[in-house]
Amino acid sequence: MSRGVIIGLFSALVLAQIATPLSMIAKRESILKEGEQFKFKTAPYDPYDAFRGRYISLRLDEDKVPKDPGVSYERGQKVYAHVAVDDQGFARLTGISKDIPKGTPYIIARFWYSHGKEASLDLPIDRYYMEEKAAPEAEKVYRQYTDRRKKNRQDAYVLVRVKDGRVAIEGFYVGGQKIEDVVREARIKGLL
């Protein structure tokens, strides 16, 4: 191979390596800027494996989705989860389809399994990334706010933007405040 061909191939490789992450960043920013906003309630997820690195593992409070029993899906199949907002302002998944729904917000997901008229999905709302040192403290705060044994339990929710089925998490809230602010206040008060 000539030197010019090698340099051309190397240049193409470098451009691809730069273009890929820039494209990913641009897509996420586009969703955050132009996407429709939804608020999903969350529930604590596996207390022994809540963190893997620098993120909080999330699970939607209502993670079962109604499905038509006459339609079959295969595990891992791409589906469209229909989104609606309830009277308290929280988003709910109201159904799934194999085709993009018209006139209804939707999230692209993967079918996991079904039981009767309900389906479980692998949704792209499963991780909230944080600063590494704050993650363990955030886990403690999250568990305190969502402890089902407490009478004054405060719900946690994740605020997401959805555009063309793609999702970008905007913030994670406990007790009506961003988790980062709650952790900072708990540090100041000496609770963590």
Q: Can you give the pTM of this predicted structure?
A: 0.73
The Cα–Cα gap between 116 and 122 comes to 18
Residue 64 pLDDT exceeds 90: no
Residue 46 confidence (pLDDT): 45
- Over the stretch 83-125, which tens digit does the pLDDT of each residue have? 999 998 999 999 999 999 999 999 999 999 988 889 999 999 8
Write out the CATH class of domain 35-61+126-192: mainly beta
Q: Give the whole-number percent of the chain exceeding pLDDT 90.
A: 33
pLDDT tens readout for residues 128-168: 888 777 877 887 777 777 665 655 556 789 999 999 999 99
Task: Concatenate the DSSP letters of all residues of the chain into one string.
Answer: --HHHHHHHHHHHHHHHHHHHHHHHHHHHHHHHHSEEEEEEEE---TTSSBSSSEEE-EESS-EEE--TT----TT-EEEEEEEE-TTS-EEEEEEESSPPSSS-EEEEEEEEEETTEEEEE-S--EEE--TTHHHHHHHHHHHHT-TT-TT---EEEEEEEETTEEEEEEEEETTEEHHHHHHHHHHTT--
Average model confidence (pLDDT) across the chain: 83
60 confidence band (pLDDT: 50, 70, 90): confident
